[in-house]
Amino acid sequence: MREPHPEIYGSLEFVEDMKDRTKAFAIRIIRAFNALPKTDAARTIGRQFLRSGTSVGANYRAVCRARSKKEFIAKLGIVIEEADETAFWLDVLADANIVSRPRITPLLQEAHELLAIFSASYHPANRTPPPPTQPPPPPRPIDLLPQSSIDSFPPH
């Protein structure tokens, strides 16, 4: 297996750890969804965080398969959006008193940590390298003459 974008992520070990971590996050999201109260509000919000929370890991795997830097950046942006959306819906669940804040805090903390990790990877990857330094223009013929020769030209 080739190492995906080591200049950005560092090592294959990191990539594999993040694949495992995002998969574990998806499983925790599924379990949290299944434990929600059986109310319309809980199910509606739950479906939102179920979709966004499980897509973090799936989209991270797509990042690892990116064929170009442009594709890598675009797919990583999706992972960041999904992690942020998951954190939003978990906050809504707690703020609406559908789930107690202490019960949702570990999952919310993991969403924020994943968001921070992926955001830290996104910004260096998205930097445009500085343009190559331009060589100075070639000297003009007058620049090749010694100053004394220039001073001796008669005025027009």
| pLDDT number for residue 58 | 96
pTM of the model: 0.73
Q: Are 87 and 108 in contact (CB under 8 A)?
A: yes
Q: At what angle do helices 12-34 and 40-64 cross, to 10 degrees?
A: 170
Whole-number pLDDT of residue 11: 77
pLDDT digits (tens, 9 = 90+) for 99-116: 999 999 999 999 999 999
Q: Quickly state the pLDDT bin for 153 (edges 50, 70, 90).
A: low
- For the chain, domains (ranges, CATH) are 6-126 (1.20.1440.60)
Sign (positive or negative) of CA dihedral 40, 41, 46, 52: positive
Q: Which of 29, 42, 30, 38 lies closest to 97, judged by CA?
A: 42
Given this model, what pLDDT does residue 43 score? 95
Query: What are 50-96's pLDDT values in tens digits?
Result: 999 999 999 999 999 999 888 989 999 999 999 999 999 999 999 99
Predicted confidence at residue 113, as pLDDT, reads 96
Residue 76 CB contacts under 8 Å (≥ 6 apart), including other chains: 63, 118, 121, 122, 125
Q: How far is CA 119 from CA 8, 50, 126, in A?
A: 12, 21, 10
Per-residue pLDDT at 3: 47
